[in-house]
Every structure is written in C-alpha cells, then in structure tokens.
Homo-oligomer: A and B are copies of this chain.
Amino acid sequence: MSETNGHHYSALLERVYEVNDLRKAARVLSWDRETAMPQGGAADRTLQIATLHRVSHALYTSDETGALIEAAAGEINGAGYLSTQASLIRFLRRDYDQARRLPAEFVSKMATINGNAIAVWKEAKAKADFTLFAPCLEVLVDLASETAELLGYAEEPYDALLGRYELGVSTAQVDALFQAAKDALVPLYRAIGRRRMRVQDDLLRQHFPVDRQEQFSRYIAGAVGYDFNRGALATAVHPFSTSLSVNDVRITTRYNAFYLASSLFATLHEAGHAIYVQNVLPELNRTLLAKETSAGLDESQSRLVENMIGRSRGFWRAHYPALQRLFPEQLGDAPLESFYRAVNRVHPGFIRVEADELTYHMHVILRFEIERMLLNGELSVAEVPAAWNARMKAYLGIVPPSDDLGCLQDIHWAMVGFGYFPTYSLGSLYAAQFYEAAVSRVPGLHDELAQGEIDSLLGWLRENVHCFGRMLTPEEIALRATGRPLDHHAFVRYVSAKFGEIYDL
C-alpha cells in the first residue's frame, strides 16, 4: 500500500494532516479536562476546545479543501480499492460533502445551545424535574430536525441523524433488527426472571482496596491486548477512551471500593475501544482514516472485549487466579464458577450504564423508539416521561420512581446526540457476528477461547476489522469479515446459549 504520491495528493495530505492535528489537539484538551484539569480551568477550556473545532471545521470545509480533493482524485487513477490513496479520496468525498452541509453558523449555534442545554439538563436531573428540561428538549428536537434537513435523508429525518454515526444503516433496518432482537430477548429475559435466584453477585460487593483494583486493571487491560507503550490508563468519573494519535490511545476507568465489577468491566470496555484504534494500519496515521469506521463498529469492539471475552468462562479460567492472588480475603474461597455467574447476573435496573449484558438492549431500544417518534412528530416532548415509563414496564417489568432514574438519566439529548443510542446495541449485534465468524473460520479457536487464549481471536479482528480504520464502511467490513450484512441472529444465538446455560433454561 505504499504509493508514490503526486503533487496534488501530497498537498491534500498536508491539509488533511492539519485538520487531523487540530482535531487531535481538541481531544488532548478534553482528555486533560477529564483527568488533570483543576476546577478553575473549566470555563476557559470550553472556549479553547470550541476554538479548535471552529478553526478545524473552517479549514476542512473550505472551498480549497474541496478543490484539493478533486485535484488529488484526478491524480490517483488506477490506485487499488484498498490503497490508502483511493480509500482516502472515497472517504473525503463523502465526508467533506456531509461536513459542508452544516454551515459554520449552524455548527456554532448548535454548540451554544448544547452548552446551555447541558447545564439545564444537569439541574433538571439533580432535581428530578422533567418540566425544567422540557422547553430545552423542544429546542433540541427542533435542532435535530434542522440538522436532518440540512444533511438530507431518504425515508425519514432520523435516517440522517443515524447516518452521522452509522453510515449506510437506515432507520427502517434498525427498527427491523431491534424488533427481532426484542422478540427474542423479552421472552428470554422473562424466563430468566423466574429463575433469578440461581445467580447472586454478593461476592463482587465486598471491600476491594482501590490501589489493588488499579493494579488489576492494568493487568487485565494488558491481558486483552492493550498496548501501554502506546497508551495510558487514568481515572475519570465517566470512563472513556480517546485516540490522540494511532500511537497514543488512552483509556480511563473508575473505581468503586465496594463493587469490583465497576472497574473491571469499565477497563475491559474501554480497552476494547482502544485496541481497535491501536491496530489501525500505521500508514493511515494522521489521515482522518485512522479511526473506528462507525460508532457501531467501535462499540462492537468494546462489547466484544467486555462481554464476549471479559465475561466468558474461558477468560476467567485463565485470569481468575491472578485476581484471587490480589484479593485473597475477598475471593480466595470463591470458586471460578461463582465468579463467572456473578459477573453474568441478569437483573433489571433503571440505569442503562449499569445494566447487564442482556437487559442493556431494552434500555437502548426504548430510547431509539422515543427518539424516532420525537423526530417524526409522533410523540410530543411532554409525553416523553410516560412513553419511557410504559416501555420500561413492558420490556423490563419495572417503572422508574422519578425521571432522574428515567428519561433524564442520559446526557445524549442535551448534546444533540439524537441517533447515537442505537449504535450501542448495533455494537453488540456486530460483536456477536464477528465472534461467530472468527470461531467458524479459525481452526481451533473455540478450544483456545475455552482456555482463555485470545491471541488468535485478536489477530483475526485485527486483520478483518481493526486494520482498515475508515478505509471501508461498516457495511463493507461486515460483509468482508462475516460474509453477510449485519443481522440479529448471531447475537440471539449467543445470548440464548450463554444465559440458557447459566440459568438452566
């Protein structure tokens, strides 16, 4: 994939590098804000990040960039589909066009409204008072509609919003996938509910000193393939991963001294995100292609590491002894099987980010349904709490006692992030499909995984998913890696088998 670059293509690369560096700088500023910044720096930091975004957006969406793309495109005829050159031009033509559809003033208006909305949302959540947030949410829905109109869509406004995070997937497709998943998951979840006493997680709810949890977080991140020479682990209230370059992809986690699962699975989840970007082809560095190709693909890698590896019996067969050595008083007497069941306990709750592997998707599906209705004018803002609670009742059998535990719990709407939620569940569907494909295509992999040996799996993911970055669309990657477009079957098979066994259904 190393080509000699023509004059125009080189000029385009310089532009792309510049845009990339400015965006990465904004990420460094965000990382620093979450991990090191003193309180006093908050207001100025918001302005600094806004300036970086404004400058990079202006540079990227300039007429000059468009001319550079087309001049370079004229120069690379004959470059193979999987060459960096052809991939970059393909990506830029699509992405530049999308970025141009949102005028600078609109982006700036959105940033202002969003800054204000976050403050209002925080207050409303703290007071558990939806009426405080409702007027704001009206504006946010309008803004989302306006965004959809500017971006354009085929069937309904939600397509445009979804497309920002998951290229090539339509609302109708998501809806069909989610209906099918729901049809399988709700009965499964009900069956588990009747046998819920089989699995307890008390052993995770003891005192686990934070310094040793941190030690284990480093160990376990390394064990799933996270490269600390090109990464770092810090603490943050809301764990995240961030790529400051292909060679500097960092993760954060959080520690709860009285609940071990908190750091364990946050670390594994973020390590999964980070490993994806750490394994992008080195030659894509600084090109804008050195990134997860979609939010759904990104989430597929975090969920695969967190759940399919990190909550598997084989994995803990290999690593539970190390955990026991660190916490002999707490876990010395608990057998592997009890630990395995504890980390796979299914239990309904109000909060999405605390949900188990199974009920999690009910949280996502209800958000998708509500967002879509809001955008289609089928639901008014005032009706959101009732619609939310009715779905919680129908899908999980519980109703939040107040809206802070219900429709006010997530920051996404305040950030004008309509369309993002579905990608969380799409991630699990992709993950199961990739995992199943790997097991069927790599000889001996099933047995290796049963022993907690994951190198072959990671190698397969690297070659079939990670390395491409944004050279290929999520659809192209799924087709290439699994032989079929995304569907719900692998995921339903996976959860049915796993939880059927654990709960003896």
Q: Which residues of A contact B (CB under 8 A)?
A: 17-18, 21-22, 24-26, 28-29, 31-32, 35-41, 43-45, 47-48, 51-52, 54-55, 227-232, 234, 244-248, 250, 285-286
Contacts and interface: CB of A to CB of B under 8 A. Distances in A.
A227 B40 CA distance: 10
Contacts of A230: 38-41
Contacts of A246: 44
Contacts of A48: 21, 24-25, 28, 245
A51 B17 contact: yes
Main secondary structure of the interface of A (DSSP, over half): helix
A247 B36 contact: no
A41 B27 CA distance: 14
B24 A229 contact: no
B55 A22 contact: yes
Given A38-B229, A38-B232, A40-B229, 5 more contacts: A21-B48, A21-B51, A25-B28, A37-B248, A39-B229
A227 B234 CA distance: 24
A40 to B, nearest CB: 3
A135 B45 CA distance: 43
Given A28-B28, A38-B229, A21 B52 contact: yes
B36 A35 contact: yes
A55 B247 contact: no
Contacts of A248: 37-38, 40-41, 44-45
Contacts of A51: 17-18, 21-22, 25
A40 B38 CA distance: 26
Contact of A22 (B24, B52, B285): B52
A44 B285 contact: yes
22 contacts: A17-B47, A21-B47, A21-B51, A21-B52, A22-B51, A22-B52, A24-B44, A25-B28, A28-B29, A28-B32, A28-B48, A36-B36, A37-B244, A38-B229, A38-B230, A38-B232, A39-B230, A40-B227, A40-B230, A40-B231, A41-B244, A44-B246
Contacts of A285: 44
A38 B218 CA distance: 14
Contact of A286 (B25, B31, B44): B44
